[in-house]
């Protein structure tokens, strides 16, 4: 089973690229972030024609998450628990039922947190605390669990082209990285780092300052796997070439392959 995550930065703008990439990579499950569209306007027809079932949680002009699956989706949950007042469309979870069993998948769009001196950074920190609590509870179920998405977290210096330039950014500040480490220390595996310790494995390049052309990238899109799912991991990759397509997102898809039981 191939599971991917991609911050498309507006599904209206990126629908052609999404469909082209889906035909090329053939993912079974796709977690999308920053769809920036309401549920009623989501381009269901185009994606259903590719064989996907859809679970969407949208919002007009910003945020928005979705799960596409070639297998049935059950037990869809919208919104990260822990703060009923938080109305941002940043979290959706579903159980993907395949012939050999089931995989629980969440699509996550974690807050950016900049500027740090504003209320946005405490919101990010609180959101990460809620994600920690959610993951703690889910891991008790001992399921195949995938937490996929745009975490807006640069985990380590090898995940950024110039660590010094990002030292005070909300994505790389020590408190941010500490909360991400705490999450992984629950028993979650960072799929990309489980398969490679290479530098230069980036998933985002800013539109400004020629970042793509200079390869000034950062790795902020992650797939975190529960112990059961990590045992099934056979491959992981970053589709960097998609950043070079016409009208690209500033993020690229990240994917994993899992060996699942036959029916």
pLDDT tens track, the chain, 263 positions? 999 999 999 999 999 999 999 999 999 999 999 999 999 999 999 999 999 999 999 999 999 999 999 999 999 999 999 999 999 999 999 999 999 999 999 999 999 999 999 999 999 999 999 999 999 999 999 999 999 999 999 999 999 999 999 999 999 999 999 999 999 999 999 999 999 999 899 999 999 989 999 999 999 999 999 999 999 999 999 999 999 999 999 999 999 999 998 75
How many other CB atoms are there within 10 angstroms of residue 175's CB atom? 14
Please, which residues have CB within 8 angstroms of residue 258's CB and are 6 or more apart in sequence? Answer: 1, 2, 3, 103, 144, 229, 232, 233, 234
pLDDT in tens, 39-88: 999 999 999 999 999 999 999 999 999 999 999 999 999 999 999 999 99
Q: How far apart are CA 144 and CA 105, in angstroms?
A: 8
pLDDT value of position 145: 98
Strand partners, 204: 218, 251
Residues serving a catalytic function are: 109, 150
For the four alpha carbons of 45, 71, 222 and 113, in that order, the dihedral sign comes to positive
Strand partners, 95: 74, 104
- CA nearest to 11, candidates 151, 107, 83: 107
Q: How far apart are CA 4 and CA 126, in angstroms?
A: 26
pLDDT value of position 161: 97
Q: Provide the 3-class DSSP secondary structure of residue 255.
A: strand
pLDDT value of position 263: 58
How many other CB atoms are there within 10 angstroms of residue 15's CB atom? 14
Distances (CA, A) of 65 to 7, 88, 153, 171: 9, 10, 18, 20
Q: Which H or E run contains 17?
A: helix 11-25
- CA nearest to 102, candidates 141, 145, 51: 145
Q: How far apart are CA 128 and CA 176, in angstroms?
A: 8
């Amino acid at each position: 089973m191939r599971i991917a995550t991609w911050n498309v930065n507006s599904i209206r703008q990126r629908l052609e690229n999404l469909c082209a990439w889906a035909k090329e990579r053939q993912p079974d499950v796709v977690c999308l972030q920053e769809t920036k569209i309401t549920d009623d306007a989501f381009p269901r027809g185009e994606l259903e024609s590719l064989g996907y079932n859809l679970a969407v949680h949208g919002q007009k002009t910003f945020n928005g998450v979705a799960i596409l699956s070639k297998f049935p989706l059950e037990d869809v949950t919208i919104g990260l628990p822990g703060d009923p007042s938080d109305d941002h469309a940043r979290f959706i979870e579903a159980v993907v039922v395949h012939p050999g069993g089931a995989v629980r998948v969440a699509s996550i769009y974690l807050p950016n947190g900049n500027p740090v001196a504003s209320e946005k950074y405490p919101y990010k920190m609180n959101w990460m605390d809620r994600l920690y609590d959610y993951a703690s509870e889910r891991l008790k179920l001992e399921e195949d669990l995938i937490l996929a998405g745009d975490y807006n977290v640069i985990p380590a210096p090898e995940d950024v082209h110039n660590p010094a330039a990002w030292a005070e950014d909300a994505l790389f500040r020590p408190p941010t990285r500490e909360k991400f480490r705490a999450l992984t220390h629950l028993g979650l595996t960072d799929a990309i780092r489980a398969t490679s310790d290479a530098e230069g494995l980036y998933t985002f390049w800013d539109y400004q300052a020629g970042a793509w052309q200079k390869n000034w990238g950062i790795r902020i899109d992650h797939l975190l796997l529960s112990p059961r799912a990590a045992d099934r991991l056979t491959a992981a990759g970053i589709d960097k070439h998609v950043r070079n397509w016409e009208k690209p997102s500033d993020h690229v898809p990240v994917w994993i392959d899992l060996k699942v039981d036959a029916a």
